[in-house]
Structure 1
Amino acid sequence: MKKTLLTYVKPHVQEDPLSMILGIGYLGAMMEREKLPIALHDERVGNDQDMKAAIDANDIIGFSALTPNIRRAIAWAKYAKEQGKITVMGGPHASVDQGVFLDSGHFDYVLKGEAEHTLPELVRSIEGNDDNALLEIPGLASMRDGELWVDNPAPPLIKKLDELPIPARHLLPMESYFKNNPEHLVYIFTTRGCPFKCIFCQKELTGRGFRVRSTEAIVDELEHIIKTYDPGVILFVDEILTLRKKRIHEMCDEIIRRGLKFEWVANTRADCVDYPLLKHMHRAGCRRIYYGWESGSQRMLDVLKKDLTPEVIVNAAKMTRRAGIWAKVYLIVGSPGETPQDIAETEKVLRLAGPDLIRISVFNPLIGTESWDNYQASIDISDLSENYVSSNRSGYKHEHFTQIELEELRKRMVRSYEKWYYAMPQRLRRVYERGLYYIENPQHGKKRLGRAVGLVPPPQRHVVTNHH
């Protein structure tokens, strides 16, 4: 039987802490459930020789890559074809731009949409050399003799997420992730999709609906992660974890009921939290929240269709701090029509809100998004076709800033904010606010004081091995 390899192509710049990839983890788990031979490889762990060895050892090579890294995926597919392998591309970019892969001549198949069900179908059809079965696979696109042979629409979105197995973390190099990431970070999904209409977001893969897993399934997986891997931090990588507050209250109740002690991080929006929810999340172990603010200028928030106001942003930051939770925020510079005045308004909101960390990217109109459709006249297609994008460069030709100016602006904003954040007045402000938190939550204050004077020992962690 043919052996399948699913490989994640590394970014040219690794900006986030090294941690596991959930996408190929889910696919690997489905292949195991279907009793099909499967291996997973993360190119970020190891070197080119390791990647070549993984490709050489398997028959069907499936690639996963973010938009900035598709050129690298194509280069690896070329190598795989030279070794006589069958090549497949999936993921968000493949779902909106199949041509860039098929036209390269290095991919036999593209799978659009969620592929947990269609990948096993594809592998079985290849194994059986069954063209009729291939023609029926939802989301499959393929060329033959220079012509498009099959181009099926993506499959319906998977409605019942509880029916999916948990990701095959045991097939991933967990020890290597932990070795390269001092926090021992582990990822988990509880939802798929996002109903908001931000113009810069690709939604073709998971859709604009909002599909959720049950509380029991989520906490079962959390318990499995904790017992198996002893993580330092668990990151909920849902786009908006707290969209439905009731289910997060239920999740926190179940975490507390089972006595699970772990630190976790959430991604969400400023208008999807309130103080009672944030307090409950902290009690259940949430210590950080990552917010997508994008801007502090109302005009830019409207351009990006964020459906937020600066007042909501500032209020969410203050509530988060009051609940004892640390906040990181994501911002975008160089949005269409942005001016120095808009930048100044963003910097003013940052200082009113006082988040603990900011991360700034340059506006990028990705294919398959409203920004791509609306700003075609200002996109340098030839530049994108060669380089694609990253957080610090863009194919968008801005009205008021050059690419160099935007990159300098991005760096200056970060330096300026960090200088302000670490200045003594802000340090004193945070000490004061932390003190108010401990007065309001004396049980945490006693533990913190006990640790400070050595009466309460710090939490202990044991070393986890042999999970790959």
Structure 2
Amino acid sequence: MRVAFVDNLLLEQRPDGYHFDLQPHLGLISLLAVLQQGGHQGTLIDPKLEVSSGRMPMDVSLYENIAELVLASQPDVVGMTSLGCNFMATAKIAAHLKHRSPELPVLLGGPHASILDLPVLQRFPQFDLVVRGEAELTLLPLLDRLSSRRFSGLRGITHRSAHGVHRTPDAPLVSDLDTLPPADYSHYPVAEAGLSLLRVEAGRGCPFACTFCSTASFFGRRYRLKSAEQLCAELDRLHETYGISHFALTHDLFTVNKAKVREFCEAVTPRGYTWTCSARMDCVDSELLGIMGQAGCRSIYYGVETGSPRMQKEVAKRLDLSLFRPTLEATRRAGMEAIASFITGYPQETAEDQEMTLDLIGEAWNRHAGTLTTQLHLLTPEPGTELLDQYRDQLEYDGHISDFNLPALEADDANITRNDSEIFVNHHYYRSVLPRQRHVLVTSLYRTLCRLSRDVQRHLLARYDNSLSALITDLLSWAGAHTDPPSDAAELLQAYGADRWGAEDYLLSLVRYLLAASDPVRGACGGRADPSESRTDTAQPLMQLSPRATMLRDIHACPEILDVLSATPAPETAEVSAELRARRGHYLLLPGDVDLTVRNLTISGDSVRLLTFLETPRSRPEIARHIGVEDSGSGAEVLGELLDHLLDLGVLRRGEPHLTAGV
């Protein structure tokens, strides 16, 4: 059989905009290896590749376009996987598949469908069957029985018949992961995606019982880790095939079994690979971290979840927060970076709980500059969790898109999501002790503050006794006292700063400068012209200011001030000279084409006036008249040199010939 597997359309909202995590789906490439072992043919289709490459726009046409791509592979069976945050995309793609090819079997797997198998099949006829849990032991016998639809005795299947939806008993877990064939990465365009790191499954299962997490509901509570021999053999194969030496070992809790981690470190050290992993802070110690650092570990993801001891107990994370500081310090000493992740928006969370989380983040910004990344996520209700069982009657919907939730693309997406809180629970929220708007604003402000440099973050916190909660609490109070505060978090922070610090404060300039340099919208628009504007020239080639460029008028000497702050270890003692505090000018920010660097150009008042004029597309004769030169003879030569120089710098871009409005 020819089986087409379709990956999630998974995106993440980051401080710099939406991000697509281009990596092979580990579950699907494991199933592709099982398929090949069973004599079948497999294809992997990743919608993220199509959108991130620009081959498919992320608009109303996307779901149908993906379905056409799937059908172009001429599959006998389609296997789809989904998370709750993007289940709408999975359901819509499957509906287009069924419309175009009604007899094509469409199978569904993954955590969301495994937990909500019955309601999914009852409400979405485009899916024929759900494969629950780990599918490696189920897939081949399922394909053998698919044409006859005789599933008696086959475990882990939920299927539809003329008599309704039927559920067979759960399939067993894969007890020994070493018995599975190595995941088949050959179906993913590693080179095309430009990957310098590959994700590798290190194990499955979680023995803990956090009330907000559904990992154990899918992978079971039995902790399983591949042997050091097996894991190193997989890394060797990937290195030999793709030349990659940096790997992300995927397991929520890699270090639960310290003895096995030591075995892996001993085996991997001579190979010279570098790698990352995830761990609980109470499942590492200084000795183990030192061994991991020497074995090539470069970064560890720690799920802290809350800075409140009370909330640690409430959500059954039960992490001893006294481990936070020494664990981060031990991670740094071992030569590794750390990621500390937090969540806010729990239904039981009070203002004091939230402030404790914010202050732990703020302390980390001050203590661990350069070696720590922090995250603050808005809580997402998850199916199969104790928290949902407790607070199901407090679910509400406001349409807010956070973190991983896919925005609405088709006209009915929002209504479907709003009206089905069981299937689309990830898009809803819990009514909680604190107002919903506070949680949304706090996480939005956090993302905005993350767009500032670490030196500016520390310098800013120094004005609030090094307390992130004091800053955000005062900002929330300020916003609440104004009848119409800006809804955009970046604009809100700047309006607050202008009022609280004063329009002449260099800190406000730094905030303006860094937010402009990290603007996630820059480059996303097609231009700045007003289509209704009357034009005097017809059919003229146009030039305009690049939509990726940003002008900052009358602002402090931010590059020089940033140099001062970076050279001062203690932000509260940073002295910005009176000369720097007085110096102001105009800047043009131009992001690089390849990396995230931003070129900073100092521009004169005349240049500001010209570039302001060019925010609207202009023809060459219009530009000539604006700057007062003749577009002939020596004047034409001067004008040509000027425009060519601005084009070469990337300040301007060429436009299409434009006809006068109304023609």
| Structure 1 length-normalised TM | 0.83
1:291 aligns with 2:302: yes
CA contact (8 A) 2:20 2:48 kept: no
Aligned equivalents of 1:18 and 1:277: distance in 2?
31
Aligned equivalents of 1:16 and 1:361: distance in 2?
17
1:262 aligns with 2:281: no
CA contact (8 A) 2:347 2:431 kept: no
**Deviation of 1:17 (Å):** 3.4
Q: 1:345 to 1:63 in 2, by over 3 A?
A: same
| Equivalent in the alignment of 1:405 | 438
| Equivalent in the alignment of 2:5 | 6
| Equivalent in the alignment of 2:148 | 130
Aligned equivalents of 2:47 and 2:331: distance in 1?
36
| Equivalent in the alignment of 1:302 | 313
Q: Which amino acid aligns with 1:336?
A: P
Q: Deviation string for 1:355-395 (max 9, x for gaps)?
A: 621122111221111111111121138737279366xx642
| Equivalent in the alignment of 1:319 | 330
Aligned equivalents of 1:216 and 1:269: distance in 2?
24
Aligned equivalents of 1:79 and 1:223: distance in 2?
41
**Deviation of 1:55 (Å):** 2.8
| Equivalent in the alignment of 1:42 | 46
CA contact (8 A) 1:363 1:394 kept: no
| Equivalent in the alignment of 1:388 | 424
Q: 1:174 to 1:51 in 2, by over 3 A?
A: farther
Q: Which amino acid aligns with 1:285?
A: G
SS at match of 2:49: coil
SS at match of 1:9: coil
Q: Which amino acid aligns with 1:98?
A: D
Q: Which amino acid aligns with 2:175?
A: K
Stretch deviating more after TM superposition (186-195 or 139-148): 139-148
CA contact (8 A) 2:346 2:430 kept: no
**Deviation of 1:50 (Å):** 5.2
**Deviation of 1:345 (Å):** 1.2
Aligned equivalents of 2:569 and 2:280: distance in 1?
23
SS at match of 1:23: helix
Q: 1:428 to 1:167 in 2, by over 3 A?
A: farther
Q: Deviation string for 1:315-373 (max 9, x for gaps)?
A: 21111112111111111011122122112211222344436211221112211111111
**Deviation of 1:9 (Å):** 2.5
Stretch deviating more after TM superposition (36-45 or 419-428): 419-428
Q: Deviation string for 1:13-49 (max 9, x for gaps)?
A: 5546322210101011101111112111111111343
CA contact (8 A) 1:271 1:313 kept: no
Q: Which amino acid aligns with 1:287?
A: R
**Deviation of 1:413 (Å):** 3.0
**Deviation of 1:419 (Å):** 5.1
**Deviation of 1:114 (Å):** 0.8
Match of 1:421 among 454, 462, 479: 454
Q: Which amino acid aligns with 2:434?
A: H
Q: 1:406 to 1:110 in 2, by over 3 A?
A: same
Q: Which amino acid aligns with 1:206?
A: F
| Equivalent in the alignment of 2:209 | 197
Match of 2:349 among 314, 338, 347: 338
Q: Which amino acid aligns with 2:439?
A: L
Q: Aligned residues, how many?
A: 417
Aligned-residue identity in percent: 26
| Equivalent in the alignment of 2:250 | 237
Q: Which amino acid aligns with 2:25?
A: I
Q: Deviation string for 1:184-218 (max 9, x for gaps)?
A: 22111121101011111112221011012111101
CA contact (8 A) 2:137 2:174 kept: no
| Equivalent in the alignment of 1:109 | 129
Aligned equivalents of 1:239 and 1:376: distance in 2?
26
| Equivalent in the alignment of 1:450 | none
Q: 1:74 to 1:418 in 2, by over 3 A?
A: closer
| Structure 2 length-normalised TM | 0.60
| Equivalent in the alignment of 1:187 | 199
CA contact (8 A) 1:358 1:414 kept: no
Q: 1:405 to 1:167 in 2, by over 3 A?
A: same
Q: Which amino acid aligns with 1:413?
A: Y
Aligned equivalents of 2:96 and 2:319: distance in 1?
46
| Equivalent in the alignment of 1:120 | 140
Q: Deviation string for 1:418-457 (max 9, x for gaps)?
A: 75833478967989xxxxxxxxxxxxxxxxxxxxxxxxxx
**What value does the CA root-mean-square deviation take over the aligned residues?**
2.4
Aligned equivalents of 2:233 and 2:355: distance in 1?
46
CA contact (8 A) 2:98 2:126 kept: yes
Match of 2:189 among 173, 181, 200: 173
1:22 aligns with 2:26: yes
Q: 1:205 to 1:370 in 2, by over 3 A?
A: same
CA contact (8 A) 1:112 1:154 kept: yes
| Equivalent in the alignment of 1:222 | 235
Match of 1:376 among 366, 370, 392: 392
Q: 1:415 to 1:74 in 2, by over 3 A?
A: closer
**Deviation of 1:124 (Å):** 1.3
CA contact (8 A) 1:4 1:38 kept: yes
Q: 1:17 to 1:62 in 2, by over 3 A?
A: closer
| Equivalent in the alignment of 2:86 | 69
Q: 1:418 to 1:299 in 2, by over 3 A?
A: farther
Aligned equivalents of 1:5 and 1:281: distance in 2?
39
Aligned equivalents of 1:376 and 1:231: distance in 2?
45
**Deviation of 1:108 (Å):** 0.8
| Equivalent in the alignment of 1:94 | 113
SS at match of 1:375: helix
Q: Deviation string for 1:85-134 (max 9, x for gaps)?
A: 111001111111013431211111111111012111111112xx3343x2
Q: Which amino acid aligns with 2:318?
A: D
Stretch deviating more after TM superposition (349-358 or 315-324): 349-358
Q: Which amino acid aligns with 1:235?
A: A
**Deviation of 1:411 (Å):** 2.5
Stretch deviating more after TM superposition (238-247 or 334-343): 334-343
Q: Which ranges in structure 1 are unaligned for 5 or more consecutive residues? A: 432-468
Q: 1:16 to 1:335 in 2, by over 3 A?
A: farther
CA contact (8 A) 2:10 2:21 kept: no
CA contact (8 A) 2:239 2:245 kept: no
CA contact (8 A) 1:64 1:89 kept: yes
Aligned equivalents of 1:261 and 1:333: distance in 2?
39
Q: Which amino acid aligns with 1:405?
A: R
User: What aligned pairs does 1:243-282 form with structure 2 within 5 A after superposition?
Assistant: 243-256=256-269, 259-282=270-293
Q: Which has the higher contact order (CA 8 A, sep 6+)?
A: 1
